[in-house]
Amino acid sequence: MHLLAAFTVLLAAVAASGRRTTKRKIGERQLEAAKRWQTSNTQSQNVKRGGVQNITFTNSKASEFYVDGKSLPLVDFDVGPSWAGLLPISSNPNETRQLYFWFFPPGPEGSLDDLIFWTNGGPGCSSLEGLLQENGPFSWSWGQAKPTVNQQSWTNLSSVLWVEQPVGTGFSQGIPNAQNEDDVAAQLVGFMQQFLEVFSELKGKKLYLTGESYAGTYVPYIANYIYENPTLLDLSLQGIWISDPLMSWDVVQEQIPAVDFVNKYAGLFSFNQTYMNYLEKKAAVCNYTGYMDKYVTYPPTGLLPLPGDSVEFAPGCDVWDDIFYNALIINPAFDVYRIWDTYPILWDVLGFPGSFAQTQSPIYFNRRDVKKAIHAPVDTEWSECSNINVFPNGDNSLPPAFTVLPNVIEKNQRTVIVHGLADFILIADGYDFVFDPLSVYILTHWNDLQGFQTPIANDSFIVDGVGAYGTMHSERGLTYYEVALSGHMIPQFAPVAAFQIMQYLMGFRATP
């Protein structure tokens, strides 16, 4: 009995010791995990980090745009050579409309044969946000005290051109007059013509048009404009990336899937049962309940009906705003771009880390020394999203899912559409309507069929060195991704996944 008692005591002591997780033990495990991640990430990406392939431009005007990567204010490392400034949208000597750009050459193992174009959305939101916080060579994201090297910069793939467009966005100059997406496309192509005259060594490169949010409308129209006017631009368009894109009606991408989204992430919203019962009743009255189960089939059986008699939500059927306002009551830091954010709201050097702009300083691109360093107009007050209406009379174009997208998919080598699953401002389930039956009232198919013919499989997006990172489906030139653990800004929130997706778009890997 004495031996048994002693053994019991020993077992209890061992068990108790095992339950005591100290900060030191956790720290040791974190270091080991970091080593494993770093090793697997390096092996999977196989990209040499640091340094650039410098490009020599023979046009003397190019030197006026040169940015010294050693002298960017508040950046304590060399980001390498780049070129930035304003160029007009036409060759007219009296042209007053100018777009601001920042161009970086590729890293040491990036391709010299390719050019990535990136635009943010809004409409009217600056592409410098994409550069500084998503896919540029240096990163100053939410909560960072200072900038750091971006290991997943898209410059590790090729040259990248960030452009603030349309007119009225960011540092861009002139009075906006675009009436529709064709106007935006024509102005952007006009700018690109001027850009290629100054940086003529980039002519003939393979071009990839990329962007997020409202760029889901910009990019397909720009791509279609290039394809329909093949002599205007001395670049070879290969494909497009649009992430968390606006490409259909708001009722499809926000309203119909909103209550299902709340149910999926009930623990994050934390609504009480009384309010959830109210939402469920409202969704039923508005014909949102069960919409997906009823109408989304593989292959599609026909065109999808709208839940009401309009492309807008019916009176009393704005469930999205209802959810948003009440989410803010429970969590005043609720972020439509990444729903799990809570207090404290992270400091953002660009002043816009979540659902609302914050009163913060310094706003990096409003520093006079920064403006001078990157050849930006010093008298222009920069904001991440412009107070100027870049479409003075509204955007009169139909969503691209109904118009130009099928043509663009057919002409591209590859088309990539990506969505972060933690994004509430544009909801992933809404894209099932857009891509599977290729949207409400669409009158065209792409590559002879309508929508995806087979369902999207769970855990089908495999990231090298990581494993399953969401879902993926590819048919007839279109590849659709849903990225787990990411909100609206995919390259910011899931940079390793974004990098691999871009590798696939550019043909640097054979499989999605």
Is 471 a residue whose pLDDT tops 50? yes
Strand 98-104: give its sheet, edge to edge.
66-67, 82-88, 98-104, 158-164, 111-119, 206-212, 236-243, 414-420, 478-483, 470-475
- The predicted model gives 228-254 an average pLDDT of 92
Instruction: Return the pLDDT at 300.
Output: 75
Is 323 a residue whose pLDDT tops 80? yes
Instruction: Return the pLDDT at 40.
Output: 54
Please indicate whether residue 419 is annotated as part of the active site. no
**pLDDT tens-digit readout, 189-221:** 999 999 999 999 999 999 999 999 999 999 999
Instruction: Grade residue 258 by pLDDT with cuts at 50, 70 and 90.
Output: very high
Question: Which element (helix H / strand E) includes 82?
Answer: strand 82-88
Beta carbons within 10 angstroms of residue 209's beta carbon? 26
- Express as a percent the part of the chain with pLDDT over 70: 86
Beta carbons within 10 angstroms of residue 490's beta carbon? 24
Instruction: Return the pLDDT at 207.
Output: 98
Instruction: Return the pLDDT at 18.
Output: 52
Is 187 a residue whose pLDDT tops 60? yes
**CA distances from residue 106 to 114, 130, 230, 235 in whole angstroms, order as listed:** 9, 17, 26, 17
Spell out the domains of the chain, with CATH numbers in brackets: 60-249+396-505 (3.40.50.1820), 251-365 (no CATH)
SS3 of residue 27 by DSSP: helix
> Catalytic residue among 127, 141, 159, 213, which?
213
- The predicted model gives 223-232 an average pLDDT of 97
Is 433 a residue whose pLDDT tops 90? no
User: Could you tell me if 427 and 259 are in contact, meaning their C-beta atoms sit under 8 angstroms apart?
Assistant: no
Strands 138-139 and 111-119: what pairing? unpaired
Please indicate whether residue 423 is annotated as part of the active site. yes
Instruction: Return the pLDDT at 441.
Output: 35
Instruction: Return the pLDDT at 100.
Output: 98
Instruction: Return the pLDDT at 109.
Output: 85
Mean pLDDT, all residues of the chain = 87
- The DSSP secondary structure of 338-391, one letter per residue, reads STT--SSPPP-TTS--SSS----S--GGG-HHHHHHTT--TTS---SB-SS-SS
Instruction: Return the pLDDT at 334.
Output: 92
- The predicted model gives 362-377 an average pLDDT of 95
Instruction: Return the pLDDT at 26.
Output: 58
User: Could you tell me if 151 and 42 are in contact, meaning their C-beta atoms sit under 8 angstroms apart?
Assistant: no
**pLDDT tens-digit readout, 121-130:** 989 999 999 9
**pLDDT tens-digit readout, 97-134:** 999 999 999 998 899 999 999 999 989 999 999 999 99
Please indicate whether residue 213 is annotated as part of the active site. yes
CA 501 – CA 461 distance, rounded (Å): 10
Q: C-alpha 179: how far from its chain's center?
A: 25
Is 432 a residue whose pLDDT tops 60? no
**CA distances from residue 76 to 146, 148, 149, 407 in whole angstroms, order as listed:** 9, 9, 10, 46
**CA distances from residue 238 to 104, 183, 201, 209, 457 in whole angstroms, order as listed:** 20, 22, 19, 8, 27
- The predicted model gives 338-366 an average pLDDT of 83
Is 410 a residue whose pLDDT tops 60? yes
Q: Phi/psi at 264 (nearest 5 deg)? A: -65, -40
- The predicted model gives 269-273 an average pLDDT of 95
> Catalytic residue among 375, 419, 473, 488, which?
488
> Catalytic residue among 183, 335, 423, 436, which?
423
When comparing pLDDT for 152 and 292, which is higher?
Answer: 152
- The predicted model gives 288-299 an average pLDDT of 82
Instruction: Grade residue 23 by pLDDT with cuts at 50, 70 and 90.
Output: low
Is 223 a residue whose pLDDT tops 80? yes
Instruction: Grade residue 295 by pLDDT with cuts at 50, 70 and 90.
Output: confident
Is 480 a residue whose pLDDT tops 60? yes
SS3 of residue 239 by DSSP: strand
Instruction: Grade residue 140 by pLDDT with cuts at 50, 70 and 90.
Output: very high
Instruction: Grade residue 249 by pLDDT with cuts at 50, 70 and 90.
Output: confident
**CA distances from residue 51 to 47, 80, 106, 189, 462 in whole angstroms, order as listed:** 12, 7, 9, 30, 29
Instruction: Return the pLDDT at 177.
Output: 96
- The predicted model gives 489-500 an average pLDDT of 96
- Express as a percent the part of the chain with pLDDT over 90: 67
Range from 181-190, 387-396, 424-433, 440-449 that averages highest in pLDDT: 181-190
